[in-house]
Amino acid sequence: MINNKYIRYVMDFINTNTPVEFIYDEIHYNEILQRINKEIPSIKYKDLICACYSLFYTSLTYHGKACENFNHQPYYILIGDYIGSYIVEILYKHKLYYLLKVFASESKLIMLNLLNNNAKDSLLNNIIFALKE
């Protein structure tokens, strides 16, 4: 049972509008939740931040699946795009502009690294750093 309302929204959208299953990235969700609980437990919007972080990797997973599953390839591509834009949208709606900047610049670097066959990823550390500031 997914308890996070932001992730549930995406899950419901995918289940209602597409033939593919929702992929819940529990590992990334728990990874950021543990860091937040340990380092900045009183932070506001904990649910939203954990959802954005976890959904970012869900989006990449869908794009990865687009290369393996040709039957539903368009859906995998479009769902990946949809989730990426959903992250931006909810950060904007909640006026979390500083986090939007972190997500935008870090995801850009992650994409550049992927294009260079490099797995370096500093998103989590930079989110935590931004939240502490």
Partner 1 sequence: MDLAKICNVDKNLLDNKIKELLENDQSFPTHLKDQLYKLIFSSGKRIRPIFTVLGSYFGDNNKEEVYKLAAIFELIHTASLIHDDIIDKADTRRGNQTIHTQNGVYNALILGNYLVALTSEYISNYDFENLYYNSFKVTDLCESEINQQSLLFNFNITFREYITKTKNKTALLIAASMLGGAKLSGVSKRTLKILYNYSINLGISFQIFDDILDFTQDKEILGKPNGADLMNGNITLPVIFSLTDKKIASKIRLLNENSSFEEFNNCINCILKSSAIEKSKKISKKYINKAMKAIVKLNHPKKQMLIDIIKELEKRTF
Q: How far is the CB of 22 from partner 1 (least distance, A)?
A: 13
Q: Contacting partner 1 (CB under 8 A), which of 24, 31, 82, 121?
A: 82
Stretch touching partner 1 by CB under 8 A, among 27-35, 39-47, 72-80, 125-133: 72-80
Residue 2 makes contact with partner 1 by CB under 8 A: no
| Residue given tokens 């929702």 in the structure block | 22
- Exposure pattern of 3-25 as b/e (b: 16+ CB <10 Å)? ebebbeebbeebeeebeeebbbb
Query: Contacts with partner 1: how many residues (CB under 8 A)?
Result: 38
> What contacts 106, CB < 8 A, 6 or more positions away?
122, 123, 126, 127
Q: What does the block give as tokens for 4? A: 């996070």
> What contacts 63, CB < 8 A, 6 or more positions away?
76, 77, 80
Binding mask 28-67 for partner 1 (x = CB under 8 A): -----------------------------------xx-xx
Q: What does the block give as tokens for 109? A: 């670097």
Q: Contacting partner 1 (CB under 8 A), which of 11, 78, 124, 130?
A: 78
Q: Which residues bind partner 1 (CB under 8 A)?
A: 13, 17-18, 63-64, 66-67, 73-75, 77-82, 84-86, 88-89, 92-93, 95, 97, 100-101, 103-105, 107-108, 111-116
